Structure formats: C-alpha cells, structure tokens
Structure 1
Amino acid sequence: MKLPSSRGPVSDAVITALSQGPHDFTAGDPDSDDDLHLALFVLYELHYRGWDGVDDTWEWHPGLLGLRARLEAAFEAELRRLPVPGDTGDVPHQLIAMTREPGGPSLSGYLRGRAGYEQFREFATHRSVYHLREADPHTFAIPRLSGAAKAALIEVQIDEYGGGTAARMHQEMFKETMTALGLDTTYGAYVEVVPWQTLANNNLMSLFGLHRRLRGALLGHLAAYEMTSTGPNRAYGNGLRRLGGDENATRFYDEHVEADAVHEQIAAFDMCGSFCAAEPELAADVLFGARCVLTLEDRWAGYVLSRWEQGESSLRI
C-alpha cells in the first residue's frame, strides 16, 4: 500500500518520516479530524501489512508510539463521552436493545431503493478500507481471551476467513464486488480519497484491537457489527441487483445475510455473555464498544447521505 498524501501537520510529519529510514522523531498536535485520523490510520497500518517502501522497524519506534499514544488519547476521550447503559447485569440483552435503537438516516435503505450506480461505487469504495482486511482487527483479541468466549470468537472468525478456503474469505469475496463495480482491488487503494469519518471507523477497531485493556470493547464492537449486519447486507445485495449486479457481484452481501444471522447469536450470548461472566469488571467496556461502533457508523452514514443529497461526491476528489 502506498503512503497517502498528508492532510495536516501531524500526518505530514508521520508520512515524511516513514519515507525515510528510522530516525529520531517528534511531531506536534493535529489541526483537524482529517489530520488526526489519517495520522492514526497510517500509524496503525504499521501493525497490519505495512506501507510500500517503509522500513518494518518503524512499527515499534518509540517516537511513533509516543505520538500514537497522544492521538489515541484524544480519540478515546471523545469516545468516552458517549452514553453507555449503566446496567451491566445482562449484557447480551443490553446489546440486543442497543442494536434495535432507532439510528440515524438509513444508508442501507437508500442503497436498496434509490442510489445510482456511481453512488453504490462510492459506498463500496468507503467500505473497501475495512472489507479488504475484514476480521483482522478482531483477531487481535483471540490470544487475550480464554474459555468459552475465546471459542465463540474463533467460531465467528473461522467463517470470516472462509473456513480455510481462500476464495471464501470475506476479504477475497469483496474483491468480486469491487471488480464488478470497476474498482481497484488493491489493498488500501482508496485510503487517499476517503474522508476522516471512514478512517475513524477503521481506527476504532484498531484502537480496541491493539490494546489488551480494551479487549471487552473490541468484543462489544464485533457483537454490534454482527447484530446489525443481516438487514443492511440484504438491502445492499438487493440494491446492487437493482442496478444490474449479477451473482458474483452480490455474493459478498448475500453471504453476510446467511452467516451473520448465526453470528449475531454467537457474538451476543456465547462470546460477550461468556466474557462478562468470566470478567464481570469489563462488562461496561463491552457496552462501550458497542455504543462506539453504532455511533460512528451513524455519523459516517449521515455524512455520506448529506453529500449525496447535495448532489456531491462523498469522497475526497
């Protein structure tokens, strides 16, 4: 993946540094959400597949880690202001209630019945930043769990990774959708053009995944994702069929309708329920993780729809 263009002083400092060999590094403060979330995304990617031409030893460079900690603190402080249910006695049913709350404007409904072809391409462009590494952030939790919660997470992840068959990996299946839409399937090809709201959704997963103390939040994030997936993915598949998409184009969405109907029960009860029984002091973190993803996804959907309603692209073009 090629390093993107900077969006402010901090992302510029990070990208400039990574273009060189490891050396002493310092940076100031971000001047915008764009700057903060691009810098954080670039830093997090060092723990995934990395950047073209960037020395791998940057991954654990003290200067970059210090900056990442400051950016994470600012991001987490914003997230901690979100309201979370105070009752943690029955987390699975709290998750069910949270995921049934009325959210923001329905992006899935718009894509099902009203979106034009170019708008659907934009939607897939946004989602490619996550779907081309789908499941990877949540896999960080596996060695941090034990017992029933660990087994349940692995059960979900096995499906995400295609049961060991490369062509059935959700990461690979999304490439078929992108190919049908005429998009570049290269990993990270569209980081350059997506807005900070898209990057923030991805950074949220990495924040939770890379910190053991936030393992409960990561499970809540995954549970909320799975529990709000079936209906939207059915809408996405039907919307793409309406626009002429064939079986290959819609296979990714159709697969999620079937798989996530099972995953939502496993995630809520077997994974989060078992985790909270074993570590009840982290039950509030599970609900916190769910609240974060529901809120940030609503914010992103609202941004995309507002741009389309104004007749403008939701991408940075």
Structure 2
Amino acid sequence: MGNNIVIFPNLKGRGNSTQIAEITATKYDNAEQQFIELLATENLDNQLEKESAKIWEFEQTLSTAINAAYKNANGDDQAHRFLQRILYRINRLKLFWYDDLRHYENERSLYISSCRNQIEAAWQGWELAQIDVSALQQLDVKQALIERASVDVDPTLSQDSRYIREEISEVGYRHLLAIGSFDGLVEGSRMTSILGGAANEVQCTLVRVFLEEYGNGRLSRKHSTFFAQMLTEFGMNTEPEGYFDLVPWEVLACDNHNFLTTERKRYFLRYSGALTYFEVAGPAAYRNYLAAAQRLGLSEAAMGYWELHIREDERHGRWMLDDVALPLAEKYPNDAWELVLGYDQEKLMGDRAAKAVVRSIREVEQAT
C-alpha cells in the first residue's frame, strides 16, 4: 500500500533523472485517480472509514506534493501540476456542467473541502510571498491603478509575443486553441459568483461586463460560441475541458485563483483589481493571436473570437478602471491596496501562464 507514496531514495546514484520523473508522474497520476474515485463515492463523508486505505495513500501523496511545490526552493512542476489539477477538480463543482446530477454528490463534502483548504493555504502563501505586499500598502492606489493600466493597455512586444505574431505555425496555432478552449468554452462563468448583493453602480457595471460576455443571453452571440467556431473550423473537440490534459499547471493556477477570489467575498477587492488587469491587458494578447491567424491566412471563422474580444475588452477595460476599481478605492480607503494586489497578482500569474503556453507550443512544433 505504501509503494505509491515513497520518495524512492534508493534510486539516487543508480537511476537517472528521467526514470525518477516517470516514477513520480505515475505516483501523482495514481493519486489523482484515487481522488476521482473518492469524488464519485456516494455520500463520501459517511464512507471515510470504509475508504480509509485509499484516503491515506492520497493524503500521503498530497503532503509530498505540497512540500515539493511550495516548500522546495527549486519548485517541482509535476507537484504543481498534480495540486492544481486536484484543486480544479474540486473547484469545478461550483459550476453546473449539464451532466449527470450524481457528479455533484459530494459538492459540499467536508472532506473534499478540507483537501481544498489544505492545498489553498500552502499555495496562496507561496503566491503571496512573491509580491511585496507592504510596499503596495503604501501606494496612492488610484494613481497606481491608472499608471499600471496606461502601460498594460499597449505593452511593448515581448519575445514570446513576437513569436506568436511572426513564427507560430498552424500546428502551434491549433495547440494554442486547444489550451485556450479550457477557458474560452466556459467564458465568464466564474463571474456569476460575485454579481449578487446590494445594488449600486459598481455592481451594475460588473453585470454589464458579464452580460456582454454572455452575448446578452443569446447563445449565438455568447463569446464561447465564437471560440467553439474556431475549434470547429479545424475539426477540433468543442466539448468544455476536452483538452484538459494539455493545460499547463500555470494556466490551471490562474483559474483556481479566480475561483478563490470570486467565491470569497472578503477578496472582492482583489478580484476587482484582477479583473481590471484582465480586461485592460486582454486586447493586446488577442491582437497577437489575430496577427498570427492573419499571417497564416486562416478564415474568419478561425479567428473571429479574437476580433470580438479586442472590440469588447477595450471597452470593458475602461469600465473596470473608471467605474469599478477607482470607485472601490474611494469606498474602501483602508483596504484599497488590495485592488493593486489583485491587479499585480493577475499580471504576475498571467505572464507566467503565457510563458508556459508558448513553451508548450514550441514543444509541439518541435515534435512535428
């Protein structure tokens, strides 16, 4: 029973790094499968004693991964991937996928919640350690947000941006769509968690953003429909999460962070700052993707989503800064720095994810 969770010290000196990596990957894959089985266990919280062996093995691997990812100076990509995949499998239960109702049997399981909390506590501490929070607390928040937005709305092209624009092949572009479909096919869904509450101008602006993401209630105009059309043009899978196994952990981390800040009302300012960055900076990234598609001579259907987002997100960015972030800074003067924290975290994590996506594209292109 313990073979799945040992650290394999006997391989040192006689096994190579590839063998160790393969064994570690198998260990994490097995633990993830165990967790999937636990999620599907009817009334899990009343079956913990019966499932104790499986739970013990899973928890040992979970603990090992947390140490490897967040307490090891060098980090461990396989541990990051395992933890973010487990966390996502928990978080996705907050959305309805129009599937078998029994899949939601354990959506309020205390045991599942404890697993989420254990991962989040270690992960969030690791993420926050990468930002000088004390410096943010000293800022003139409104000025800081205005200055950041003025730069991020039209940033200098990075090396990765130039690669997308000038070098990516059609194979690479399809891989980009496959990874992008993870978010593109469930456009704006997590935003639903922050829309309820007292009516005011900020809330109404957020609702306007949400409604445009959802095509004002018309499926034919919903942004995810345009993404699905791009996939269809290439004969690709249009099912949500159809390319889950291709998604780098850095992208999963962005999604899991978004789940956290939308679900926790205490993080409302962080979420609002993050969405401000996302909407301000989005068009610049989409222009890179659009330029790549145009260079490749692709059809309108194969790039329409980017054109739509460029138009709408330029407007959303102004709304988020002028009608959400700045008013919130005035309303919560003592906590307003959290808006900048959310903005800076979204940028840091988004940049990290973008690099991981380009790295994945390059690997696919080199393999063909």
Amino acid at match of 2:297: G
Partner of 1:23: 44
Instruction: Specify which of 217, 235, 238 is matched with residue 185 of structure 1.
Output: 238
Bigger-Rg structure (1/2) = 2
Identity of aligned residues (%): 21
TM-score w.r.t. the length of structure 1 is 0.88
Gaps of 5+ in 1: none
Contact 1:10 / 1:36 at 8 angstroms: preserved in 2? no
Instruction: Give the whole-Å Cα distance in 2 for the aligned partners of 1:205 and 1:199.
Output: 10
Contact 1:226 / 1:264 at 8 angstroms: preserved in 2? yes
SS at structure 2 position matched to 1:302:
helix
Partner of 1:47: 94
Distance change >3 Å, CA 97–CA 261, structure 1 → 2:
closer
Give yes or no for the alignment of 1:234 onto 2:282: no
Give yes or no for the alignment of 1:83 onto 2:132: yes
Q: What's the CA shift string for 1:47-86, capped at 9, x where partnerless?
A: 1125955432311111101111111112211221223533
Instruction: Specify which of 116, 119, 132 is matched with residue 71 of structure 1.
Output: 119
Instruction: Give the whole-Å Cα distance in 2 for the aligned partners of 1:64 and 1:104.
Output: 42
Q: CA deviation at 1:129?
A: 0.9
Give yes or no for the alignment of 1:138 onto 2:191: yes
Amino acid at match of 1:191: F
Q: What's the CA shift string for 1:93-132, capped at 9, x where partnerless?
A: 1541573697894544322221001111111111111111
Instruction: Give the whole-Å Cα distance in 1 for the aligned partners of 2:139 and 2:321.
Output: 16
Amino acid at match of 2:139: D
Amino acid at match of 1:298: D
SS at structure 1 position matched to 2:335:
helix
RCO (CA 8 Å, sep 6+): is it higher in 1 or 2? 1
SS at structure 2 position matched to 1:70:
helix
Give yes or no for the alignment of 1:246 onto 2:299: yes
Within 5 Å, which residues of 2 pair with 1:203-218?
203-218=256-271
Q: CA deviation at 1:154?
A: 1.1
Partner of 2:321: 268
**Bigger share in helix:** 2
Contact 2:269 / 2:339 at 8 angstroms: preserved in 1? yes
SS at structure 2 position matched to 1:182:
coil
Q: What's the CA shift string for 1:137-195, capped at 9, x where partnerless?
A: 22311115641211111111111111222111111111011111332000111112322
Q: What's the CA shift string for 1:252-306, capped at 9, x where partnerless?
A: 1001111111111101110111222222333222211111221112112222334
Distance change >3 Å, CA 69–CA 258, structure 1 → 2:
same
Amino acid at match of 1:152: T
Instruction: Give the whole-Å Cα distance in 2 for the aligned partners of 1:302 and 1:256.
Output: 21
Contact 1:126 / 1:194 at 8 angstroms: preserved in 2? yes
SS at structure 2 position matched to 1:282:
coil
Give yes or no for the alignment of 1:120 onto 2:169: no
Contact 1:129 / 1:188 at 8 angstroms: preserved in 2? yes
CA RMSD in angstroms, aligned pairs only: 2.5
Partner of 2:6: none
Contact 2:145 / 2:340 at 8 angstroms: preserved in 1? no
Partner of 1:313: 364
SS at structure 2 position matched to 1:281:
coil
- Of residues 189-198 and 84-93 in structure 1, the stretch that sits farther from structure 2 once superposed is 84-93
Contact 2:141 / 2:337 at 8 angstroms: preserved in 1? no
Distance change >3 Å, CA 146–CA 280, structure 1 → 2:
farther
SS at structure 2 position matched to 1:59:
coil
- Of residues 175-184 and 96-105 in structure 1, the stretch that sits farther from structure 2 once superposed is 96-105
